[in-house]
A and B are shown apart, each in its own frame.
Chain A
Amino acid sequence: MWSEVLYLVLLIGVLILSLVAIFNREVFNAAVSLVFAFILLSGIYLLLGSEFLAVIQLIIYAGAIAILILFAIMHTPAKIESLGQAKIFDYKPHYLPAFLLGIVVFSTLLGIGFLIIKEIGINVNNFKITLKDFANALFNLKDIGNYGGRFVLVFELAGILILASVIAAITVAKKE
Chain B
Amino acid sequence: MLASFRNLGAALLLLGSVSALDAGARENVSARDGLELATSSAHNWAEDSVLVYLENDDIVDAQGSAARWGYLFYSAHLDRWRAYSLSDDKVENAGELGFAFDAPQVEANWIDSDRAYAAAEKAGGRAYRDQNSGALRSMLLIRGAFGEDDPNRTTWTLVYDSAHAPSLFVVVDAENGDVVRAWKG
- Does B associate with A? no
Chain A residues with a Cβ under 8 A of chain B: none
